[in-house]
Amino acid sequence: MRILLEGGRVLDPARKLDKVCDVLIEEGKIVEVGPGLAKKFLPRHPAPGTAVFSAKGLWVLPGIIDIHVHLREPGREKDETIKSGTRAAAMGGVTTVLCMPNTDPAIDTAERVKWVRNKAEKDAAVRVLVAGAVSKSQKGVELAPIGGMAEAGAAAFSDDGKPVATAQLMRRALEYTKRFGLPVIDHCEETTLSEGGSMNEGAVSFRLGLNGIPRAAETITALRDIELARLTGGRVHLAHVSCGETVEAVRRAKKAGINVTAEACPHHFALTEEDMPDYDPNFKMNPPLRTKADVEAIRQGFADGTLDAIATDHAPHSPEKKALPFQDAPFGVIGLETLVPLSLDLVRRKVVSPLRWAELVSAGPAAVLGLKDRGTLKPGSDADISIIAPEGELVYEKSESRSKNSPFLGRKLKGKAVATVVGGRFVMEAGRLV
């Protein structure tokens, strides 16, 4: 199948391209990007086997890569499956997801990495990369067999859902993963400070009578990880940055030449603790919603290059679990289908340019994981493409996810994915899965 995307605004941050162009795809690869391709290849009528998609008025960018997604399979299929989670990804314009290892059992062996990859080959609507656990059973005691998992195709390592438990374990993980050129992704949380907390520590938690989680719980661990990256030369990636102090720590580390990258989630720069309806578990996530000052710090981190990627931390939980009282309900919200409209608010606020936004959702995540053939539209790269209507209206009333725990359900949002192409094939078009 040959596909011609005609007349869209092409945003390719890897080549600093922001121009109205056509994009030609053949056999799952980008063949050519440039103006006038429709006249060159389709002088009168499309040749047999050629599909023409009019992208006029739309943005065409390298496929969105979400490097922080919980697909829950194996073991927690009531919350999510590889099939349902990747269908949600396709609806949201996401072409690649990195799934976290906090499944049941944890993805902590080469065999389990292979199992998820094989299951994804059969069930997934988009590409699935696998993060292996840092520690056995994610217990934070003994290093998992990182070498075997790397050879089995693990793309990164993390104990996400939990922090890497000790400095010594983190040091060993960074030293070991350095051999494979793969990052350790850490959920930064000093649990002796956060234990028993359910939202940001501050005036709102005091008013609601809820135990709070201080910003220091995140920043202390982030500083630990940065120093260990300095010591080892390993690659550390800080997940879901939520507060200004952590943004500043990453900024200083990058200026010092330390091998650190970081992401932030749409809910952490779209909402504050003050936006939460009293005791609504769909606003409960870890790290929690912070303050207006923290939101501004994250936005500035995107603007000045401190933060490398936007990631959702898509964390599905069944309605029964989220129906528990606030302090007992699990942390986490879904986010794959709202990534585009929420993150486009950065463009509308003139925090970042459209090209920088495309970098944050495509080229930036690709660089974190070292993906050479994704995050760009250069000829020869994978034909993974997200087609976006920046002014389109999304009424978020239903989800392809098995869970519905989003603070944005029922809202009208601006900006949406209108088509998702994976490997030269449409998997979503005109708001419908193909």
CA distances from 333 to 278, 317, 401 (A): 17, 8, 11
Of the residues 79, 159, 186, 313, only one is catalytic, namely: 313
275 is catalytic: no
Rounded CA-CA distance 158/148 in Å is 15
Task: Classify residue 360 by its DSSP letter.
Answer: I
**260-296 burial, b for 16+ CB within 10 Å, e for fewer?**
bbbbbbbbbbbbbbeebeebebbbbbbbbbbbeebbe
In contact, 99 and 130? CB cutoff 8 Å: yes
Contacts 24+ apart (CB under 8 A), 426-432: 426/3, 426/51, 426/53, 427/90, 427/125, 427/126, 428/90, 428/91, 428/93, 428/125, 429/53, 431/91
CA distances from 271 to 6, 116, 342, 345, 434 (A): 36, 33, 10, 12, 33
**Annotated active-site positions, please?**
313
